[in-house]
Amino acid sequence: MSLTIGQAAPDFEVNNQNGEKVSLSSFKGEKNVVLLFYPFSFTGTCTGELCAVRDDLSAFQNESVQVLAISCDSMFTQRIFAEKESYTFPVLTDFWPHGAVAKAYGVFEETRGCAVRGTFIIDKTGIVRWQVINGMGDARNVGDYKAAIAAL
């Protein structure tokens, strides 16, 4: 079951692609967060979505908003993926305990062992203000979450 708008976002602390710890609570009071769950690194739709964010990064990450992309791939996979695609935003690993963050957000696909495409916009107080959950093969509409960020 996914979260509802107005609910507190579950905190987490995981590694980014460089092995550095990143927690949701570290942005509390400082930045809104766009949390992008995606199924697998190096797949066509996932790469395309994250490249769209990369190519228009100022709309998603600035002095008041932080992008965090997350999948159940290992830190080493995330590092190569981020380097290959020139992602300058954190690419987080939900590898172990496997899918724990995705499960907390209600976007873990048990049969495939990965997250589905879940997007959560979390305000500076840690409250979910917008979300959309798409199926494995259904690409997100980047314009939708750009509009949601602008509404914060």
DSSP assignments along the chain, one per residue: ----TTSBPPP-EEE-TTS-EEEGGGGTTT-EEEEEE-S-TT-HHHHHHHHHHHHTGGGTSBTTEEEEEEESS-HHHHHHHHHHHT--S-EEE-TTTTTHHHHHTT-EETTTTEE-EEEEEE-TTSBEEEEEEE-TT----HHHHHHHHHT-
Active site annotation includes 46:
yes
Is residue 110 a contact partner of residue 98, using CB atoms and an 8 Å limit?
A: no
> Could you list the active site residues?
46
